[in-house]
Amino acid sequence: MNSPRKVTRIQRQKREVILAAALEAFAEDGLRGATLEKIADKAGMSKPHVVYYFGSKDAIYTELLQSLLEVWVQPLRDLSEDADPLAAILTYMRRKLRMSQDMPRESKMFATEILHGAPRMRPQLSGDLKALVDDKAALIAGWSAEGKIAKIDPHHLIFSIWAMTQHYADFDIQVEAVLGPDRKAGLYDEADAFLTEFFVRALRP
């Protein structure tokens, strides 16, 4: 029957709730700033209960980070040969921008971790991530060599896409303060238009 499955589902749901609460807390205050009590409150349960499911605050943080990493680099994984290389890069940029819009908490959590030295991601950055980026950089370099896009350093191109798209999520407070409240609603449409135009100009041969 499904009696064991039922329990498992409940467990999985509880863990989901805790992870969601923790993500919010970590994005707001970082690993140190976020307290177990705050996470428990956001999750609607007691502090020992949170510990019961994850063992420690650190374990929640690490698990979140690891599972998010995969989601985070997926758009780059999907960058591949295309009828139009420029369109492929623009699509990648747009997916990253949409992730900033839809997952600002995830973006902030990553940013905070890396900003503070990425103590629990260093191996993956210089391992998997470096391999992935090198791979895609080679692809882009190929397009450059064939004259399909401008000749630019592909690694720095990727950095620039990361920087510009994540800026809107990570520093949203600053962006919104500078633009003023009126432009807040259409912000991501503006950003999309600007970045598209910007990268088209920079990349066409």
Partner DNA sequence: ACAATTTTTGACCATTTGGACAGAAAAATA
Partner DNA sequence: TATTTTTCTGTCCAAATGGTCAAAAATTGT
Q: Kindly list the residues in this chain that would bind DNA in the complex (CB under 7 A).
A: 3-4, 6-7, 10-11, 14, 34-37, 45-49, 51-52, 55-58
Compute the least distance from the CB of residue 19 to DNA, in Å. Answer: 14
Compute the least distance from the CB of residue 114 to DNA, in Å. Answer: 21
Note whether 190 binds a second copy by CB under 8 A: yes
DSSP assignment string, 75-133? HHHT----S-HHHHHHHHHHHHHHHHHH-HHHHHHHHHHHHTT-TTTHHHIIIIIHHHH
CA 50 to chain centre: 25
Nearest residue to 177 via CA among 192, 191, 187: 187
Compute the least distance from the CB of residue 3 to a second copy, in Å. Answer: 45
Total chain residues near a second copy (CB under 8 A)? 52
Query: Which among 7-15, 60-68, 82-90, 115-123 is the span making contact with a second copy, rule CB under 8 A?
Result: 115-123
Compute the least distance from the CB of residue 117 to DNA, in Å. Answer: 16
Query: Which among 6-14, 77-85, 141-149, 176-184 is the span making contact with a second copy, rule CB under 8 A?
Result: 176-184
* Whole-angstrom distance, CA of residue 3 vs CA of residue 7: 7
Backbone phi and psi for residue 176, each to the nearest 5 degrees, phi listed first: -70, -35
CB-CB contact of 168 with 184 (8 Å): no
Which of 84, 163, 184, 186 is the binder for a second copy (CB under 8 A)?
163
Compute the least distance from the CB of residue 199 to a second copy, in Å. Answer: 8
* Whole-angstrom distance, CA of residue 32 vs CA of residue 30: 6
Residues 6+ positions from 200 with CB-CB distance below 8 Å: 86, 90
CB-CB contact of 39 with 17 (8 Å): no
42 binds, among DNA, a second copy, none (CB under 5 to 8 A by kind): none
**List of residues contacting a second copy (CB under 8 A):** 28-30, 32-33, 108, 111-112, 114-118, 122, 125-126, 129-130, 133, 150, 152-153, 155-157, 159-160, 162-164, 166-168, 170-171, 173-175, 177-180, 190-191, 193-195, 197-198, 201-203
